[in-house]
């Protein structure tokens, strides 16, 4: 029988793409999401892509009674825990909300899993746990010094799960540190649609390209990088999604706790992203170079070799494909799922 996987936050950007990858690999994803940053209409799109109706539970991952019921009703093989808040700036102005949802929600989920005897957990961590790295590519054993409450909330959960594993080594846990996820499913049916003005580069670029915003503000052109703009490790969301499937398969083989970078291992500058997007969309992307954004790191990218050695996974999709897929999604869904 196909294994059921609880996907918290499965209606969101990375979670919805991971549901597609799970279904393609023969798993049955079950989504639990409170829709605080997503749209229920993603379910219709997932149906169109996968050909099946995914079970959806609308609820909060901090609701212990709900989790107990969910685990009692369905024999889950594992949980993938995406549900959380992710805006760095909001975490500075409202840290308690971030610790409550990200730390509190994760502890609640792990407790419910322990009580139900489900011991495979894949956790969405972030490269933000490294803070400003000494050098790139960043290996997993680099210093951890997150610079925001958001980043610290991710590190706290990692630490709690390491302690849990040490106390009960029967657990199978993967802590996946994503770099900069972008792109969309190649169908153009699902993608990223942030509420309000986007903070992140790719959604902003998409909105400029489709004419919803006049121009991109490049945050700083005087960094010590080849063209002066910030450098990041952009990774296609479908590569990330497949990384979760690889982590699940690894967990099926042996009890372990693994901490892995999921990135391409290559940095791209803001100007390189702009040029790639222009190639993908066939239209010029107006931009202006402004001041640096407070708190930004000049450049970082990950070393994904441990993920490749451990999971046999590596990111395969190019920056051009990330831009082409983002553009297809944006063009077909200028208002997101609305």
The burial class, CB within 10 Å (0-12 / 13-18 / 19+), for 314 is middle
Among 199, 225, 308, 321, binds ligand WQD (CB under 6 A): 199
Q: How many residues touch ligand WQD (CB under 6 A)?
A: 18
218-257: contacts with ligand WQD (CB under 6 A): 218-219, 230, 232
For the chain, give the longest Cα–Cα distance: 56
Q: How far is the CB of 197 from ligand NAD (least distance, A)?
A: 15
Cα dist. 70→31, 239, 268 in Å?
A: 11, 29, 42
Query: How many Å apart are CA 312 and CA 30, to the nearest integer?
Result: 26
Is 150 considered catalytic here?
A: yes
Among 5, 6, 7, 9, binds ligand NAD (CB under 6 A): 9
Give yes or no for a contact between 327 and 185, defined as CB atoms under 8 angstroms apart: no
User: According to the binding rule CB under 6 A, does residue 176 interact with ligand WQD?
Assistant: no
Site string for ligand WQD, 92-131 (x = CB under 6 A): ----------------------------------x-x---
- Token output for 80: 């993938």
Among 17, 81, 86, 244, binds ligand WQD (CB under 6 A): 86
User: According to the binding rule CB under 6 A, does residue 37 interact with ligand NAD?
Assistant: yes
277-336: contacts with ligand WQD (CB under 6 A): 293, 296
Q: How far is the CB of 189 from ligand NAD (least distance, A)?
A: 16
User: According to the binding rule CB under 6 A, does residue 185 interact with ligand NAD?
Assistant: no
Among 55, 74, 111, 200, binds ligand WQD (CB under 6 A): 200
Q: How many residues touch ligand NAD (CB under 6 A)?
A: 27
Query: H helices within the chain, ranges in order?
Result: 13-24, 42-50, 64-73, 88-93, 95-98, 105-116, 149-167, 201-209, 237-253, 270-281, 305-311, 319-332
Which residue's structure tokens are 């989504």? 31
């Amino acid at each position: 029988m196909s294994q059921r996987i609880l996907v918290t936050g499965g209606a969101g950007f990375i979670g919805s793409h991971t549901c597609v990858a799970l279904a393609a690999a023969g798993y049955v994803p079950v989504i639990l999401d409170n829709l605080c940053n997503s749209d229920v209409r993603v379910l219709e799109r997932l149906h169109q892509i996968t050909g099946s109706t995914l079970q959806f539970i609308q609820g909060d991952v901090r609701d212990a009674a709900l989790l107990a019921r969910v685990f009692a009703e369905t024999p889950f093989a594992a949980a993938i825990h995406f549900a959380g808040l992710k805006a760095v700036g909001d975490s500075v102005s409202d840290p308690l909300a971030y610790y409550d949802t990200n730390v509190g929600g994760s502890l609640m989920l792990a407790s419910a899993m322990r009580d139900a005897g489900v011991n495979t957990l894949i956790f969405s961590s972030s490269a933000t746990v490294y803070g400003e790295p000494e050098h790139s590519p960043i290996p997993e054993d680099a210093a951890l010094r997150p610079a925001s409450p958001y980043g610290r909330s991710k590190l706290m959960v990692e630490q709690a799960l390491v302690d849990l594993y040490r106390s009960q080594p029967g657990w199978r846990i993967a802590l996946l540190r994503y770099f900069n996820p972008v792109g969309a499913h190649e169908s153009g049916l699902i993608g990223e649609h942030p509420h309000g003005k986007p903070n992140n580069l790719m959604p902003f670029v998409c909105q400029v390209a489709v004419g919803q915003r006049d121009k991109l503000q490049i945050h700083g052109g005087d960094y010590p990088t080849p063209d002066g703009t910030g450098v990041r490790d952009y990774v296609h969301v479908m590569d990330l999604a497949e990384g979760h499937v690889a982590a699940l398969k690894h967990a099926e083989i042996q009890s372990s706790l693994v901490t892995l970078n999921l990135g391409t291992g290559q940095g791209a500058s803001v100007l390189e992203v702009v040029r790639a997007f222009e190639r993908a969309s066939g239209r010029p992307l107006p931009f202006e170079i402004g001041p640096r954004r407070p708190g930004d790191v000049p450049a970082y990218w990950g070393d994904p070799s441990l993920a490749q050695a451990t999971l046999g996974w590596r990111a395969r999709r190019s920056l051009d494909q990330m831009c082409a897929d983002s553009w297809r999604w944006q063009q077909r869904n200028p208002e997101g799922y609305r």
